[in-house]
Structure 1
């Protein structure tokens, strides 16, 4: 059972071509993966900044609400003696 040298050459060429194509595809996928990682990192930074800003606003609003409650209580004044009972 002899194999023609041309068939062996074609098989070797197909393996080399397949390796080249798969290497290019893997390189392309790695490049896109790195690009997506950097993009997601920047988006994560933006979300972190927004979370800190929202947290700061909530703290500030809670303080303002407490001030408003105190001001309203001062405007209303103490309850009359008959209503306290």
Structure 2
């Protein structure tokens, strides 16, 4: 089977054309890849900056959390003091109640003693 030289020329020219087109596509893809790599590098830098900011914010929140824990500890101490004071007040209130009851009893005894010393009211005062 014999192939004409024109057909061989067409095949060679098609192969050369394909090689040229593929070379151009390779160049375009390499340029796009380089451009995308640059963009991705800039995006990575931005993300690193943002990560740095988040780390700073996290550090601030940790400091704030530590402060709140200190404040919570202080409030717990204050609550314990208030409970002690409340217990003292209850104890003192019971003592005062007992004393007031005794004073009222003594007052009633004094009134009775005074009434006995004065004797009965004169007749005109009773009317």
Instruction: Provide the TM-score with structure 2 as the length reference.
Output: 0.55
Structure 2: which 5+ runs fail to align? 87-127
Name the structure 2 match of 1:42.
42
Equivalent positions of 1:1-85 (< 5 A) are 1-71=1-71, 73-74=73-74, 77=78, 79-80=80-81, 81=84
The alpha-carbon deviation at position 6 of structure 1 amounts to 1.4
Structure 1: which 5+ runs fail to align? none
Kindly name which structure, 1 or 2, has the bigger radius of gyration based on alpha carbons: 2
The alpha-carbon deviation at position 70 of structure 1 amounts to 2.9
CA displacement 1:33-80 (0-9 Å, x = unmatched): 111111111111111111111111111122123224434554672513
How many residue pairs match? The answer is: 83
Q: Tell me which stretches of 4 or more aligned residues in structure 1 moved more than 6 Å.
A: none
Instruction: Provide the TM-score with structure 1 as the length reference.
Output: 0.78
